[in-house]
Amino acid sequence: MAENSPVPDSADLLMALSVIEDSLLTGLALNRPGSEILAALGEGGAGQGPASHAQGGQESAPASADLAGLEARAGACTACRLASTRQHVVFGEGVAKPLVLVVGEGPGAEEDSQGLPFVGASGKLLDRMLASIGLSRRENCYIANIVKCRPPGNREPNPDEKASCMPYLREQIRLLAPRAILCAGRTAAQTLLDTTEGINRLRSRSHLYGDIPLVATYHPSALLRDETLKRPAWEDLKSLRDILAGSGGKA
Ligand code: SF4
């Protein structure tokens, strides 16, 4: 969660969801449902087992020994000061070889408590956003953060903390080999793109992380605070969908 997010009330969450659902209903440039697009890609998700932290208390099934080994190393990591205040190392959650790797800033209080990324209100909104273009952390996405341990008080991670933790994310990206990366919020986009540009500029154009297309958008908690961001966030999701469908994205 993080990105300085207060806990939104349920009315805000419902409003955010309704905007996305309205966009779907009005067919805002979504000519085909996400499930059709993914089926056309031959990537409907069936058979892509969970890579880590299956939801609902199920046993996790690591995608590979390498990823499991990386998670074990992160679980014992004390490379930065965040180790001293965490409850859990939040390594990530999703499937092996995902279509999309979603990257957020860092765990919030609920994520730290549960050991899972993007839970609570902003996590539910993220799941609905992904579902609007046929994506799911259970079937074809993986979700991780720039830092694996919670910064106290939901503050932004310090530069040295991000630098200490980024080797884990870089290795996750190498092992997961996603088709595209979706950065949720300024911190994730700035860190992966090694820039100080603001999120409004970063989300206005397409990027590459290595040879992987990268789309930057607002953090779900920002959408819950400011409903004017929901429409542009929907445009970002459409760009991601277009990239997955092989028709580009933003210029
Ligand atoms: S935030 Fe990252 S580098 Fe710091 S202790 Fe946690 S896993 Fe290690």
Q: What is the pLDDT of residue 96?
A: 92
Q: What is the pLDDT of residue 183?
A: 98
Residue-level length of the chain: 251
Closest ligand 1 atom, residue 86 Cα: 6
Q: Which residues line ligand 1 (CB under 6 A)?
A: 74, 77-80, 82-83, 89, 147-149, 161, 164-165
Q: What is the pLDDT of residue 45?
A: 37
Closest ligand 1 atom, residue 164 Cα: 3
180 Cβ contact partners less than 8 Å away, ≥ 6 residues apart: 99, 100, 101, 212, 213, 214, 215, 240, 243, 244
Determine which residue's CA is closest to atom 2 belonging to ligand 1: 165
Q: What is the pLDDT of residue 18?
A: 58
Q: What is the pLDDT of residue 176?
A: 97
Determine which residue's CA is closest to atom 4 belonging to ligand 1: 80
| Gap from CA of 147 to ligand 1 centroid (Å) | 6
Ligand 1 probe mutation, 89, 146, 187, most atoms within 8 A of CB: 89
Q: What is the pLDDT of residue 221?
A: 95
Domains and CATH numbers, the chain: 10-244 (3.40.470.10)
Count of Cβ atoms closer than 10 Å to residue 143 Cβ: 26
Model pTM score: 0.80
- Which stretches of the chain drop beneath a pLDDT of 50? 4-15, 23-34, 36-38, 40-50, 52-63
Q: What are phi and psi of 132, to 5 degrees?
A: -65, -20
Q: What is the pLDDT of residue 59?
A: 33
Q: What is the pLDDT of residue 118?
A: 97
Is 63:175 a contact under the CB 8 Å cutoff? yes
Q: What is the pLDDT of residue 65?
A: 72
> Can you say whether the dihedral through the CA atoms of 197, 199, 200, 204 is positive or negative?
positive
